[in-house]
C-alpha cells in the first residue's frame, strides 16, 4: 500500500510534468497544491525532499517555483516509491536495500511465508519498475494494457 505522502508526491510530479510539456514555466507551491488537490502544508516538505533527491529544481523571483529537472520517462515509479516511503518489500527479508532477517525465522530457504510473498513481490516489482511518470501523465495504451492484465489476474 502506498502512503498518502506518495500519492501527494505523484500528483505534484504529474502537475509539474504536464506543465513542462506545455508552457514549461515554474510552478509555485500554491499552484501545485491547487492543481493537484494537495494540502500546501504537506506539499512543502514533499517538494523539498524531491528537490534533494534530484527530481526537481527551483527558481527564485517573480517567475519562481519548482520545475521538473528530469524527463517523465527518466522517473521510475519504483524508484520514486522507495525515495518517498523507503523500502517497498512486504517483508524485511525480501528487501534488497534494507534487508534484515526475520527474528522468528530459523530457515529463510524453507520459509513458506517468504516464498509466497517473494513471488507476489517479484510480480509487483516487475510491474512497478517498468512504469514511469510518463505512463501516468500520458495515460498511455501501455499503462492501460498493464492494468488490464493486473485486473484480469485478480478475477
Query: What is the model's pLDDT at position 20?
Result: 82
DSSP 37: T
Nearest to 114 by CA among 83, 135, 93, 131: 93
* Structural domains of the chain, count: 2
63 and 92 inside one domain:
no
Cβ–Cβ < 8 Å for 39, 76: no
User: Are residues 49 and 10 both part of a single domain?
Assistant: yes
DSSP state of 104: T
Residue 57 and residue 98 share a domain: no
Last residue of a domain, one of 20, 36, 68: 68
User: Do 63 and 20 reside in the same domain of the chain?
Assistant: yes
In this structure, the answer to whether residues 52 and 24 fall within a common structural domain is yes
**95 shares a domain with 50:** no
Same domain, 64 and 108: no
Does residue 29 sit within a domain?
yes
Query: Which residues lie below 8 Å from residue 118, measured CB to CB, with a gap of 6+?
Result: 91, 94
The verdict on residue 83 lying in a domain is no
User: So what's the pLDDT on residue 15?
Assistant: 93
> Residue 109: which domain range?
88-154
The answer to whether the CB of 85 falls within 8 A of the CB of 5 is: yes
Residues 45 and 96 both lie in one domain: no
Same domain for 59 and 92, yes or no, is no
Q: What is the CATH number of the domain that holds 57?
A: 1.10.10.10
Cell output for 32:
501545485
Length of the chain in terms of residues written: 155
Predicted confidence (pLDDT) per residue in 39-68, tens digit: 999 899 999 999 999 999 998 887 789 999
pTM of the entire structure? 0.81
Comparing CA positions, the residue from 137, 140, 141, 139 lying closest to residue 20 is: 137
Query: In 22-132, which ranges are continuous DSSP H helix?
Result: 29-36, 40-52, 77-85, 112-130
* pLDDT score at 151: 63
Tell me the per-residue pLDDT of 124-139, one tens digit each, with 9 for 90 and over.
998 899 999 998 888 7
The three grid cell numbers given for residue 122, joined into one nine-digit string:
517479484
C-alpha cell at 101: 532477517
As a whole number of angstroms, the distance between CA 17 and CA 38 comes to 16
Q: What is the pLDDT of residues 14-35, one digit of tens each?
A: 999 998 877 778 999 999 999 9
Q: Using 50, 70 and 90 to split pLDDT, how confident is the model at 142?
A: low
Q: What is the pLDDT of residue 1?
A: 78
- Asked if 9 and 64 sit in the same domain, the reply is yes
Domain boundary among 39, 68, 97: 68
59 contacts 29 by C-beta, under 8 angstroms: no
Choose between 115 and 64: higher pLDDT. Answer: 115
Amino acid at each position: 500500500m502506498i502512503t498518502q505522502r506518495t500519492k501527494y508526491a505523484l500528483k505534484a510530479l504529474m502537475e509539474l510534468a504536464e506543465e513542462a510539456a506545455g508552457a514549461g514555466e515554474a510552478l509555485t507551491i500554491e499552484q501545485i497544491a491547487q492543481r493537484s488537490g494537495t494540502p500546501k502544508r504537506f506539499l512543502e516538505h514533499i517538494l523539498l525532499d524531491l528537490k534533494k533527491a534530484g527530481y526537481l529544481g527551483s527558481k527564485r523571483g517573480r517567475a519562481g517555483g519548482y520545475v521538473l529537472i528530469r524527463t517523465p520517462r527518466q522517473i521510475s515509479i519504483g524508484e520514486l516509491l522507495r525515495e518517498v516511503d523507503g523500502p517497498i518489500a512486504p517483508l524485511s527479508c525480501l528487501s534488497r536495500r534494507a534487508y534484515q532477517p526475520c527474528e522468528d525465522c530459523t530457515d529463510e530457504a524453507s520459509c513458506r511465508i517468504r516464498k509466497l510473498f517473494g513471488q507476489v513481490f517479484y510480480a509487483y516489482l516487475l510491474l512497478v519498475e517498468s512504469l514511469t511518470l510518463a505512463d501516468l501523465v500520458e495515460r498511455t495504451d501501455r499503462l492501460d494494457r498493464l492494468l488490464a492484465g493486473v485486473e484480469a489476474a485478480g478475477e
